Amino acid sequence: MRALLVVNPAATTTSARTRDVLIHALASEMKLEAVTTEYRGHARDLGKQAALSQDIELVVALGGDGTVNEVVNGLLHAGPDPEHLPGLAVVPGGSTNVFARALGLPNHAVEATGALLDALRRGSERTVGLGLASGTPGSEDEAVPARWFTFNAGLGFDAGVVGRVEQKRERGKKSTHALYVRQVVRQLLGEPHRRSGTITLERVGEEPVTDLVLSIVSNTCPWTFLGNRPIYASPKASFDTGLDVLGLSRLSTAAVARYGTQLLTSSPERGPRGKHAVSLHDLTDFTLHSKVPLPLQMDGDHLGLRTSVTFTGVRRALRVIV
């Protein structure tokens, strides 16, 4: 088997020595080409090259969720074709690694490499669904290129938090869960639409859901992790179904206390609920509109401000070794 290993040298939980050990272990089992990313978007370019190649059977992403997202968008640059595109394998090296952990992989690079090699020997794989976000026809965001996401996306509050974290990281701060918690508080204090949101969710044949402050789109669960604690925004979300949405129409102090507690104590059986919470399961197509430009994030990557985004749940989009 010929494989391409995409290595993010800035991955927060792996050292250069660890990466060398992992490369050696993988190379002992396959014909491996290892490439270190050099710029933002490089992993996407490498994924695209692998998709266009005639002989690469597997792409291994060594890094965090951002690296995985770029590789996936490169592999699927021309659309999903699981039977003919290279498969994907993930060795987690980021601070959270939601996609890898949602697949059931160990959250440790060495252990995950061992699990990957075992899966390859057994021929174990699954075909997972993904989310696709694109500019809405007729909106000012119509020309924005479509982008795939593996585990979640968000328009509004949570995307604002992601943007704040990215700003801190650009200034040299280390990506930690404590950093995320601090930015949640600061985003909340600066939120101008806490009591009446600007987001409307529209689906064909259904009444619109209006005045949302927060909209979280999940392709799987958990939504994220706080340390080792899984957080379930949409407990029914799955790689085998369409997309799920959690919307909140109020972020007052009382609402934050209630829904924050529910998120922290959420489980695969029970997520946030209440009169200001909207939960939708297994959606194929829907659009989020906002009266004002709001931040958008996908797989923890801040993508700027949008007023309208159309989401599509695409089943059986990508083969994953697991």
Q: How far apart are CA 116 and CA 136, in angstroms?
A: 38
* pLDDT classification of 164: cutoffs 50, 70, 90: confident
Residues 290 and 191 in one domain: yes
- From residue 23, alpha-carbon distances to 26, 27, 66, 158, 289 in Å are 5, 6, 20, 35, 45
Q: How far apart are CA 253 and CA 13, in angstroms?
A: 35
Query: What is the domain extent for residue 208?
Result: 131-316
Average pLDDT over the chain reads: 93
Q: Is residue 321 part of a domain?
A: no
Cα angle value 61/218/246 (rounded, 5°): 155
* pLDDT classification of 158: cutoffs 50, 70, 90: confident
Measured between alpha carbons, how far apart are the two ends of the chain, in Å?
Answer: 16
Residues 176 and 302 in one domain: yes
Q: How far apart are CA 169 and CA 153, in angstroms?
A: 20
Q: How far apart are CA 149 and CA 29, in angstroms?
A: 30
User: Could you identify the residue written with the tokens 């392709």?
Assistant: 219
For residues 46-61, average pLDDT: 97
Q: Is residue 166 part of a domain?
A: yes
Q: Regarding predicted confidence, which is higher, 9 or 183? A: 9
Q: How far apart are CA 223 and CA 247, in angstroms?
A: 13
Q: Of 123, 142, 170, which closes a domain?
A: 123
Query: 71: which residues sit within 8 A by CB, 6+ positions away?
Result: 6, 43, 44, 46, 47, 59, 61, 88
For residues 23-32, average pLDDT: 94
| pLDDT-above-90 percentage for the chain | 77
| pLDDT-above-70 percentage for the chain | 97
CATH code for the domain of 201: 2.60.200.40
**29-38, 101-110, 192-201, 220-229: which has the minimum mean pLDDT?**
192-201
Q: Is the pTM of this model over 0.85?
A: yes
What pLDDT score was predicted for residue 139?
A: 86
Q: Is the pLDDT of residue 134 over 70?
A: yes
**147-161, 170-184, 282-296: which has the minimum mean pLDDT?**
170-184
Residues 231 and 108 in one domain: no
For residues 296-303, average pLDDT: 95
Q: Of 104, 123, 142, which closes a domain?
A: 123
Grouping H, G, I as helix, E, B as strand and the rest as coil, residue 130 is strand
What pLDDT score was predicted for residue 178?
A: 77
For residues 43-49, average pLDDT: 98
Residues 168 and 62 in one domain: no
Concatenating the DSSP letter of every residue in 155-188 gives: EEHHHHHHHHHHHHHHTT----HHHHHHHHHHHH
Q: Is the pLDDT of residue 248 over 70?
A: yes
Residues 152 and 78 in one domain: no
Number of domains in the chain: 2
What pLDDT score was predicted for residue 192?
A: 66
Q: Of 123, 151, 176, which closes a domain?
A: 123
pLDDT in tens, 67-100: 999 999 999 999 999 999 999 999 999 989 999 9
Q: Is residue 322 part of a domain?
A: no
- From residue 177, alpha-carbon distances to 92, 141, 171 in Å are 16, 32, 17
Query: 37: which residues sit within 8 A by CB, 6+ positions away?
Result: 6, 7, 8, 9, 43, 46, 63, 67
19 in Cβ contact with 7 (< 8 Å):
yes
**What number of residues does the chain have?**
322
What pLDDT score was predicted for residue 285?
A: 98
Residues 99 and 139 in one domain: no
Residues 148 and 78 in one domain: no
Concatenating the DSSP letter of every residue in 25-68 gives: HHHTTSEEEEEE--STTHHHHHHHHHHH-SS--EEEEEE-HHHH
pLDDT in tens, 165-220: 778 777 877 767 677 778 777 776 676 666 679 999 999 999 999 999 999 999 99
Hey, how many other C-beta atoms are within 10 angstroms of the C-beta on 137? 10
Hey, how many other C-beta atoms are within 10 angstroms of the C-beta on 264? 10
Residues 162 and 284 in one domain: yes
